[in-house]
Amino acid sequence: MKVISLAEAEKKAVAMEGARNVWKQVPLGGGDGSPLFSFRVFTIEPHGHTPYHVHPFEHLNYVIEGNGALVMESGQEKNIHKGDFVLVLPHEKHRYRNTSDSEPLVMICAVPKEFE
Amino acid sequence: MKVISLAEAEKKAVAMEGARNVWKQVPLGGGDGSPLFSFRVFTIEPHGHTPYHVHPFEHLNYVIEGNGALVMESGQEKNIHKGDFVLVLPHEKHRYRNTSDSEPLVMICAVPKEFE
C-alpha cells in the first residue's frame, strides 16, 4: 500500500511538442507495482495546453482545481471545471487547455501504465 | 468523450456486508465505453467504513475531501486526507474508514471495469 500527497510527487515540465506550460507528476504508477493503471497529474498553467493529439488508449480524468476546456476534433470545446470527471476514448483527438488567466488547471489523467 | 460532475452521477447506498454509511457513484465506467478502467466515487459518512476485505484487483484512490484511515491487515492504520493518492495492490486486505465526527470522506476508487 502506498499513500502519497501530490506535493511529494516529483514534478517535471512536459517537453512534448505541442505542449505549453504543462507540468507532470506520477503519484501512482508502474514503479509502485500498480498492475494495470497509473494516476498521472497534469498542472496546466494559465495560457497553457497539452498537445492536440490522438492515441490508442483512453484517458480518465478528474479535475482537482481550475477551469479549462477539452478541445475536440470538430474544433468544438467542452468546458471542464473543478470536480468534473472526463472520459476520452481511444482514438479521440483532443487537447486540454486552461481557460483561466490566473489559476492553474490541475487534473488527474489515468492511463494504462505502459503509457504513463 | 464524456464530461460529468459528481452531482450528476447516480448515488446508491452500498449494501455489501461490512459496509457502514457508504454511498457509491460511478461517474466513468464500462457503460460509457471505457475500455479498461472505471472511476467510482465512495462517500463514507462520519462513523462509516467500507468492508474489511481482500480481492484480486487493485485500487487507485484520490481523496477528494475529508479525513480517514486506511486499515491494513496488521491492524495498523495509515491516515489519509484530502489530496492524498492511495494504491492498494491486489490481495492486500484493507478497509477505508472515516475518522471525522462531522465531515464525509469522499474518494475516487478506480478499478478494472469488470469489478466496478
Q: Per residue of chain A (116 residues), what is the pLDDT tens digit?
A: 999 999 999 999 999 999 999 999 999 999 999 999 999 999 999 999 999 999 999 999 999 999 999 999 898 999 999 999 999 999 999 999 999 999 999 999 999 999 99
Residue A64 sits in a domain whose CATH number is 2.60.120.10
Domain span holding position A60: 6-115
Q: B37 vs A37: CB contact, 8 Å cut-off?
A: yes
In sequence order, the β-bridge partners of residue B112 are B37
Does B108 fall in a domain?
Answer: yes
Does B88 fall in a domain?
Answer: yes
- B16 interface with A at CB cutoff 8 Å: no
- If one counts the domains in chain B, the total is 1
The interface predicted TM-score (ipTM) is 0.95
Does A1 fall in a domain?
Answer: no
Does B100 fall in a domain?
Answer: yes
Q: Among all residues of chain A, which has the CA nearest to that of B80?
A: A3
Burial class of residue A27 in the structure, from the number of CB atoms within 10 Å of its CB (0-12 exposed, 13-18 middle, 19+ buried): buried
- B54 interface with A at CB cutoff 8 Å: no
Does A48 fall in a domain?
Answer: yes
Does B16 fall in a domain?
Answer: no
Does A59 fall in a domain?
Answer: yes
* Residue to substitute from B25, B40, B62, interface A, most A β-carbons within 10 A: B62
Does B14 fall in a domain?
Answer: no
